[in-house]
Amino acid sequence: MFSPMIVIIIGLPLTLLAIYALYLQVRDDHVAPIFVINLLISDLIQMCCMVIWVAIFLDWQHPTVGCTSMLLYYSSLLASACFMVCVALERYLIIAWPLWYRFRRSIKSSVVVSIMVWVFCFIEFTISSFEPIFRPIFLLILFPLLIFSLVGTLKALSAAISVSSKEKGQIIAILVLVVLSYTLLFLPWVINVLIEKYSSAFNYYLWMFGNLIKISPFADLVLYVFISKGATGKLLSSLCCCGWLQEKGQAATVNV
């Protein structure tokens, strides 16, 4: 129980603090990083499930609650992975399609996407009770989307002259952190589950490496730090201004 205890003692208060900070940001600036908020909420659910595990470990006799908490934990883990992909794709759209993103994005659309993710995860909650292999396969499918977001953003950044070196570094750091977190924390667990499903061999080191997924809330907190206050709005404004000037220049050339 050492790993869950560390996550609960350190991660739980920090996650609550981060959610409160985001609440203040939304209240003061009316800027809602919806996907990051949902990512932290999914982490909060995971840590609440860990509290139940610790209680059961300390001889709390409620096996039904324990089984339910396991299913809820892995469903919220799936939600966490989905929102990581949403954050990565959002960064890609901000850089590659700034004008389209500025006029198409809205809090309502982000909320609708978030609700769809949660509904899907709770449907998966039911499916996994009968066919647990669905979850690791779906997590495996999400990985190419992260790679696409990283590669596409890097290509778009190389042509984005209006983005400062500092902002480029921040965007790259966010996406690299997401991809590394997924690669080092989620994929080993997926591989371990698939091996256990189709092989009778037990690899202790792979099992230990797969359990690193329990510290994923820490990686999400670091991600929250990188997505600093107001950075997205400022970046989007500069990109849209540049895009608008380019379009205006092209139109003037055609008229001449």
In terms of pLDDT, which residue wins out, 179 or 227?
179
Q: What is the pLDDT of residue 42?
A: 94
Most confident of 107-116, 143-152, 154-163: 143-152
pLDDT of residue 253: 42
In a domain, 69, yes or no: yes
Domain of 130 in residue numbering reads as: 2-235
Q: Is residue 248 part of a domain?
A: no
User: CB-based contacts of 159: which residues, under 8 Å, 6+ apart?
Assistant: none
| Residue 48 scores a pLDDT above 60 | yes
Torsion-angle region of residue 59: left (phi > 0), alpha (psi -120 to 50) or beta?
left
In a domain, 253, yes or no: no
Distance CA(34)–CA(37), nearest Å, equals 5
49 or 206, which is more confident: 49
Q: What is the 3-state secondary structure (H, E, C) of the chain?
A: CHHHHHHHHHHHHHHHHHHHHHHHHHHHHCCCCHHHHHHHHHHHHHHHHHHHHHHHHCCCCCHHHHHHHHHHHHHHHHHHHHHHHHHHHHHHHHHHCHHHHHHHCCHHHHHHHHHHHHHHHHHHHHHHHHCCCHHHHHHHHHHHHHHHHHHHHHHHHHHCCCCCHHHHHHHHHHHHHHHHHHHHHHHHHHHHHHHHHHCCCCCHHHHHHHHHHHHHHHHHHHHHHHCCCCHHHHHHHHHHHHHHHHHHHHHHHHHC
pLDDT of res. 248: 46
Better-predicted residue by pLDDT, 67 or 62: 67
Residue 245 lies in a domain: no
Determine the Cα–Cα distance for residues 167 and 153; give it in Å rounded to an integer.
Answer: 13
| CATH of residue 90 | 1.20.1070.10
Q: Is 242 a member of any domain?
A: no
Residue 167 lies in a domain: yes
90 inside domain: yes
- The more confidently predicted of residues 240 and 208 is 208
pLDDT at position 86 is 92
Tell which wins on pLDDT, 31 or 202: 202
Decide if 251 is inside a domain.
no
**Predicted local distance difference test score (pLDDT) of residue 74:** 86
Residue 32 pLDDT: 62
Half-sphere exposure of 253 (CA within 13 A, CB side): 6
State how many domains the chain has: 1
